[in-house]
Amino acid sequence: MTGVTIYHNPACGTSRNTLALIRNSGVEPEIVEYLKTPPSRDRLADLIRRMGVPVRSVLREKGTPYAELGLDDASLSDDRLLDAMIAHPILINRPIVETPLGVRLCRPSEAVLDILPDPQRGAFAKEDGERVVDEQGRRIA
């Protein structure tokens, strides 16, 4: 893989901010609107494995059928959780970004800075006005 891919929901502010940070590095990523074009089960499992996090940590609760499906049951297997995410892609937390430097669930959006191959090209502020990158392209702590 040579490029950057974002599993994106354009209705999500965090996802929009992450996409803007990627573009601020001079990269036009492959954008996968995962609600319209969900990843395959194998692809999702691979992304989660490469993130090095538990499957459960990628589950989204807010605004999803999480509770109705009983996904808060700690005894559910990873396979069952993956099946639920594939059946209901809204359960996949976002945005997930894949670059040559790794895969990350970018919450908060500035987490993407750790895996972008190219530096920021200038100042960046989130939609809410929070400054994340200064004029020299450096991350603001």
Known catalytic residue at 106: no
Global confidence as pTM: 0.94
Catalytic choice (4, 5, 9, 12): 12
**Same domain flag for 48 and 76:** yes
Domain of 105, CATH number, reads 3.40.30.10
pLDDT at 113 over 70: yes
**Do residues 2 and 30 both lie within one domain?**
yes
Residue 131 has phi, psi (to 5 degrees) of -75, 130
Into how many domains does the chain fold? 2
Helix axes 41-51, 78-87, angle to 10 degrees: 120
Residue 102 corresponds to which tokens in the numbers above?
A: 């790794």
Confidence (pLDDT) at 1: 43
Nearest to 22 by CA among 103, 99, 130: 99
Instruction: Give me the pLDDT at residue 2, please.
Output: 57
pLDDT at 27 over 80: yes
**Which pLDDT belongs to residue 115?**
97
pLDDT at 59 over 50: yes
Question: Is residue 19 located within the same domain as residue 48?
Answer: no
* Residue that finishes a domain, picked among 77, 92, 107: 92
What is the residue-averaged pLDDT of the chain?
A: 96
Strand partners, 97: 6, 104
For residues 113 and 88, membership in a common domain is answered with: no
Dump pLDDT digits (tens) for 121-136: 999 999 999 999 999 9
Predicted local distance difference test score (pLDDT) of residue 81: 98
Distances (CA, A) of 70 to 74, 77, 79, 90: 10, 12, 15, 15
Q: Which domain holds residue 110?
A: 1-34+94-141
Name the domain boundary from 92, 108, 123. 92
Question: According to the model, what pLDDT value does residue 132 have?
Answer: 96
